[in-house]
Amino acid sequence: MSVVKSFWGKSQVEYLGHIVSSHGLEANPKDLSALTNLPFPGSLRAMQSFFGSLNYYSKFIEDYAIYAAVLFELREVDFAAMNKPENRSRVQDLAPVAGDDLAWTGNPADADLRWIRAHKSFAKLKEKVSSTPIVRHFQPELQPVVIVYANDWAISAALMQEHDAVFHPVMFASRTLNSNELNYGIMEKEVLALLRVLDLGHNLLVGREIKVLARYSTLAWLFRFSGLQGRLGQWAALLSQWTLEIVKCTKGEDEILGAIAATITPRAELDQALIA
């Protein structure tokens, strides 16, 4: 180690596209401009290149898989059709008036709508990566809070801890669902989201009491009944090793989405979504 080239007593350092400080880990803004200024890819190879770069920062995006799933479905033949001038102009004309719903029915007549949602997903991912939060260091003395969310094709979860009456993210976990899991009910998908974050954060969470915020009471129900069969029995066995306090959201999906947001969440706002 060269003493001349070393720096001492710095409050933060830049390393491999990140800024590391006593507060936590964050993406280095100067390294994100290549992603945030990127136009919508015109080929499957270009889209794969975009995801190759974005995956490095996916840990800062709380619902990465939910938006990325829309783009993962695109194939080379889709890009070839989209690059036809008449199709591209139709999407550009319809995009400003399209809704925010990302779900696609699969009806070929709605192909234009699928491309509109793909453009919206692409723009949303760029927006999120440009405003990534500070992912805090895990503090063993603070209670971990897990927030789970699921939609038709993906699951997402956030591990948070409270600092000065504000909840800050410690870790995000999300993934798309496989063909069998797509048939699960939304309540079962929430169980998958919880299992996902417990698996990824096992070393941090094992042996601790964890508060879980969810939209449905299925998680609590798994602990109240014995003799469950099939996948419910398997999930109950996997969760039996954990000490979980299941708290149901009272006002529906909006509060969950607000609480799982990458930006910091004031304690007062989060408490309004809980049942004491």
Do residue 142 and residue 267 come from a single domain?
Answer: yes
Same-domain check for residues 125 and 90? yes
Max avg pLDDT among 141-145, 220-224, 226-230, 244-248: 141-145
202-211 mean pLDDT: 92
pLDDT band at residue 25 under the 50/70/90 scheme: confident
Instruction: Give me the mean pLDDT over the 103-129 stretch.
Output: 69
Q: Which of the residue ranges 51-60, 94-103, 166-175, 236-245 would you say has the lowest mean pLDDT?
A: 94-103
Of 10-14, 45-49, 235-239, give the lowest mean pLDDT range. Answer: 10-14
Q: Are residues 193 and 246 in the same domain?
A: yes
Domain for residue 18, yes or no? no
Distance CA 186, CA 151 (A): 7
Residues 204 and 124 in one domain: no
Q: Which of 88, 113, 130 is the last residue of a domain?
A: 130
**Residues 242 and 114 grouped into a single domain:** no
Query: Are 142 and 63 part of one and the same domain?
Result: no
Instruction: For 259, list phi and psi in degrees, rounded to 5.
Output: -75, -30
66: left (phi over 0), alpha (psi -120 to 50) or beta: alpha
Q: Identify the burial level of 258 via C-beta atoms within 10 angstroms of its C-beta, where 0-12 means exposed, 13-18 middle and 19 or more buried.
A: middle
Q: Where a domain ends, among 112, 130, 148?
A: 130
Predicted pLDDT of residue 201: 92
> Same domain for 161 and 38?
no
Query: Whole domain around residue 233: which residue ranges?
Result: 135-271
Q: What is the pLDDT of residue 195?
A: 93
The arithmetic mean of pLDDT across residues 224-236, rounded, is 79
Question: Residue 122: pLDDT band by 50, 70, 90 thresholds?
Answer: confident
Q: Is the confidence at residue 187, as pLDDT, over 80?
A: yes
Nearest to 10 by CA among 24, 21, 25: 21
* pLDDT confidence band for 55 (50 / 70 / 90): confident
Strand partners, 162: 167
Final residue of a structural domain among 78, 99, 130:
130
Residues 191 and 102 in one domain: no
- Residue 21 within a domain: no
Task: Verify that 145 and 261 share a domain, yes or no.
Answer: yes
Under 8 Å between Cβ of 123 and 96: no
122 and 143 both lie in a single domain: no
Between 240 and 276, the more confident residue is 240
Count of structural domains, the chain: 2
* Residue 97 pLDDT exceeds 50: no
Average pLDDT value for residue range 174-194 = 88
Same domain as 242, residue 150: yes
Q: What is the DSSP string of 102-140?
A: ------GGGHHHHHHHHHHHHHHHHHHHHTPPPEEPP-T
| Distance separating alpha carbons of residues 269 and 258, to the nearest angstrom | 9
Edge to edge, the sheet with strand 12-15 lists 12-15, 18-21, 24-27, 135-136
Mean pLDDT throughout 205-227?
80
Query: The tokens of 6 are what?
Result: 């070393």
Q: Is the pTM of this model over 0.75?
A: no
User: Which value, to the nearest 10 degrees, does the dihedral of the CA atoms of residues 259, 68, 105, 255 take?
Assistant: 0
- pLDDT score of 210: 93
Instruction: CATH number of the domain at 198, please.
Output: 3.10.20.370
